[in-house]
């Protein structure tokens, strides 16, 4: 050992001798002070002005533990079911979604209105005077009056695109034209017509397309309402458990103040007994002050959590609940659902509203594709009509036939010409009786068509767009299913992690209690010091808060799992009403 020490000493001595041929790097002389990059010494920098240099805390009492705007004497106990019910009833987002459902219902009623029969008509009196330009009349002007009443009843028949019209016309005409036989003259008719598409518009037309889309939109808004309800329920659950945690954490911090004060009094007795130094009292007083700060930090978190919950369940800012102190009454511990990944994923794929929304979008796309495929077909319609007319009136007192001008007795000639006509026509009432007697019928059967010359590019483009839209919706569904699977896997993992964290936190809290009690006994027996006791006390309070946090996080994880699988409403026995 001596020889080894001598060897090290000799080697160090040799290392300090200058060896010829080697240049020794000189050591720079130290500067009196360091200089920064800008050439200003730290001692020359202007000091930052102090804040409130003369401040001193003279008030030793604790401020009020109340919350802003809350009457602590007005306590409102609330279960989770109560909070969910209030949110679904009063939440503004839910109300907006409920209005969207009502709007969709009115849209469907409006679309179906196309099949309601339409009754249209007009009635008017018209009198006109025109100059005479006929060689058969000797009048300078011709005056004609007409009283008309027309009505049309039209309707679309669902199923085949059939259009039916019923038309009734009635007219009374008076004139001073001498070549008109009747004045007044009554003209009446009753007609029926039907138009039946043979290709385009037979299976689907714009009216039926609008109705089918309106039906899907109603389903779409129902799914959106359910999705919003699930989101609101999940948010209420999280807010409820946040408030429950923060209220209980506030109590934990207050218990910490109580324990710290008890330890302070215990230390004072030990100082009086001479077992501790008076300076140890200062450490215990500092511990009390630190715990009091944690109490107010916890109180602030209670206020934030309570306002967050009130914002979800209150209909407006003037409700009484804003001045009440909400007290959650549900227990923190919940039964952890035991579900496999396969079962949870299958449940989510059956329940998630996002997939239902995608399904409805696919159905709307199918309606569009069917419509545009129909629009590519030729427009050829079968038409059929029937019309029955009637006429009646009385002889025109101004009648004068040009054929009787050379007759020696024009009046007799005119009467002879009127007699066969008036005998066939009859009086004014025959205008209606002729219709039902089918005296003057008109029948028509035919085909009408409207064909593009160079092909219907618009319909082809619209059909191509609808097909691409369908492919896009299918791709979106695959992405949604994969995202839902990831969501479920993550939610399950969070539940298992939260359950394990709760177990570890419970063990840590139990051990912290034992260590704290052990350290206190050591202090009483003189085997420990106050600083270790305070350290154990701090660790115990933190362990209690961590255990409570782990319990709450497990509850929130269970709520998130319900949202991920789409079971939030069923798990809370909620049946949302969209009306």
Residues 446 and 474 in one domain: no
Which of residues 450, 473, 490 is at a domain's end? 450
Strand partners, 185: 173, 393
CATH number of the domain where residue 523 is located? 1.20.1600.10
Confidence of residue 418 (pLDDT cuts 50, 70, 90): low
Domain boundary among 418, 450, 482: 450
Indicate whether 322 and 238 sit together in one domain: yes
Burial category of 498 from C-beta neighbours within 10 Å (exposed 0-12, middle 13-18, buried 19 and up): buried
Q: Are residues 433 and 468 in the same domain?
A: no
Residue 277, in any domain of the structure: yes
CB atoms within 10 A of CB 106: 11
DSSP 456: -
Residue 48 DSSP label: P
338 in the same domain as 237: yes
Pairing state between β 162-175 and 141-157: antiparallel
Q: Tell me whether residue 6 is in a domain.
A: no
- 85 and 143, same domain (yes or no): no
- Residue 22 forms part of a structural domain: no
Residues 341 and 475 in one domain: yes
Sign of the four-CA dihedral 280, 284, 289, 294: positive
Owning domain of residue 338: 76-103+208-368+459-571
> Going by C-beta distance under 8 Å and a sequence separation of 6 or more, which residues neighbour residue 151?
119, 120, 121, 167, 168
Q: Looking at residue 133, what is its pLDDT?
A: 75
Q: Which residue has the higher pLDDT, 406 or 188?
A: 188
* The residue count for the chain: 579
User: What percentage of the chain carries pLDDT values higher than 90?
Assistant: 46
User: Mean pLDDT over all residues of the chain?
Assistant: 84
Q: Can you give the pLDDT at residue 181?
A: 78
Same domain, 239 and 301: yes
Res 505 pLDDT > 80:
yes
Strand 379-395 versus strand 182-197 pairing type? antiparallel
Q: What's the pLDDT at 433? A: 85
**Residue 152 falls within a domain, yes or no?**
yes
Q: Rounded to whole angstroms, how far apart are CA atoms 188 and 426?
A: 14
| pTM for the predicted model, two decimal places | 0.71
Q: Residue 260 pLDDT more than 50?
A: yes
| 282 and 142 in a common domain | no
Within a domain: residue 66? no
Q: Is residue 43 part of a domain?
A: no
Q: Are residues 362 and 472 in the same domain?
A: yes
Based on the structure, what is the number of domains in the chain?
2
Tell me: do 344 and 217 sit in the same domain: yes
Mean pLDDT, range 225-230, rounded to an integer: 90
pLDDT tier, 44 (very low <50, low <70, confident <90, very high otherwise): low
SS3 state of residue 32: coil
Is 506 inside any structural domain? yes
pLDDT band at 32 (very low <50, low <70, confident <90, very high): very low
Rounded CA-CA distance 15/9 in Å is 10
The CA distance from 27 to 23, in Å, is 12
Is the same domain home to 479 and 567?
A: yes
Does residue 398 belong to any structural domain of this protein?
Answer: yes
Least confident of 25-39, 298-312, 432-446, 550-564: 25-39
Domain boundary, last residue among 450, 482, 504 = 450
Task: Look at residue 29 and tell me whether its pLDDT is greater than 60.
Answer: no
pLDDT at 13 over 50: no
The predicted pLDDT at position 511 comes to: 94
Q: Say if residue 383 is in the same domain as residue 363.
A: no
Average the pLDDT over each of 15-19, 135-139, 146-150, 225-229 and give the range with the smallest value: 15-19
DSSP code per residue over 488-507 = HHHHHHHHHHHHHHHHHHHH
């Amino acid at each position: 050992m001596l020889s080894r020490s001598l060897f090290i000493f000799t080697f160090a001595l040799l290392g300090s001798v200058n060896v010829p041929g080697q240049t020794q790097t000189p050591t720079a002389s130290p500067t009196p002070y360091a200089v920064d990059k800008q050439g200003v010494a730290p001692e020359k920098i202007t000091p930052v002005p102090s804040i409130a240099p003369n401040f001193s805390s003279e008030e030793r009492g604790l401020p009020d533990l109340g919350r802003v705007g809350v009457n602590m004497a007005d306590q409102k106990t609330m279960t989770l079911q109560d909070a969910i019910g209030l949110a679904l009833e009063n939440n503004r987002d839910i109300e907006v979604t409920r209005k969207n459902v009502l709007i969709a219902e009115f849209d469907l009623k409006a679309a179906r209105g196309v099949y309601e029969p339409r009754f249209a008509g007009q009635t008017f009196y018209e009198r006109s005077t025109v100059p005479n330009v006929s060689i058969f009349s000797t009048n300078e002007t011709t005056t004609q009056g007409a009283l008309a009443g027309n009505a049309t009843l039209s309707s679309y028949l669902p199923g085949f695109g059939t259009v039916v019209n019923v038309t009734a016309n009635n007219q009374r005409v008076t004139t001073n034209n001498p070549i008109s036989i009747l004045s007044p003259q009554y003209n009446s008719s009753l007609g029926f017509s039907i138009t039946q598409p043979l290709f385009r518009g037979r299976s689907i037309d714009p009216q039926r397309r609008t109705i089918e889309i309106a039906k899907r939109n109603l389903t779409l808004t129902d799914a959106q309402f359910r999705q919003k309800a699930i989101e609101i329920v999940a948010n209420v659950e999280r807010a409820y458990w946040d408030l429950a945690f923060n209220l209980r954490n506030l109590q934990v911090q207050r218990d910490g103040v109580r324990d710290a004060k008890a330890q302070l009094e215990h230390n004072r007795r030990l100082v009086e007994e001479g077992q501790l130094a008076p300076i140890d009292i200062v450490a215990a007083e500092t511990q009390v002050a630190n715990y009091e700060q944690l109490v107010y930090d916890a109180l602030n978190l209670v206020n934030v959590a309570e306002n967050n919950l009130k914002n979800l369940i209150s209909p407006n800012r003037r409700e009484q609940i804003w001045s009440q102190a909400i007290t959650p009454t549900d227990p923190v511990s919940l039964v952890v659902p035991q579900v496999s990944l396969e079962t949870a994923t299958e449940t989510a794929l059956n329940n998630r509203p996002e997939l239902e929304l995608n399904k409805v979008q696919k159905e709307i796309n199918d309606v569009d594709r069917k419509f545009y495929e129909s629009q590519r077909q030729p427009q050829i319609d079968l038409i059929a009509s029937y019309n029955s007319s009637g006429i009646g009136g009385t002889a025109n007192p101004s009648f004068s036939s040009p054929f009787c001008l050379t007759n020696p007795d024009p009046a007799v000639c005119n009467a002879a010409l009127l007699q066969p006509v008036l005998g066939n026509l009859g009086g004014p009432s025959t205008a209606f009786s002729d219709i039902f007697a089918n005296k003057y019928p008109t029948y028509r059967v035919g085909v009408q068509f409207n064909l593009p010359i160079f092909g219907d590019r618009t319909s082809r483009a619209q059909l191509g767009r609808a097909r691409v839209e369908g492919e896009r919706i299918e791709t979106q569904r695959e992405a949604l299913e994969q995202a839902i699977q990831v969501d479920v896997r993550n939610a399950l993992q969070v539940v298992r992690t939260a359950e394990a964290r709760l177990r570890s936190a419970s063990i840590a809290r139990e051990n912290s209690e034992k260590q704290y009690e052990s350290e206190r006994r050591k202090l009483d027996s003189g085997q420990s010091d106050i600083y270790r006791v305070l350290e154990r006390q701090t660790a115990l309070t933190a362990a209690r808060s961590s255990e409570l946090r782990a319990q709450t996080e497990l509850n929130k994880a269970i709520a998130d799992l319900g949202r991920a699988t789409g079971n939030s409403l069923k798990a809370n026995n909620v049946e949302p009403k969209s009306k």
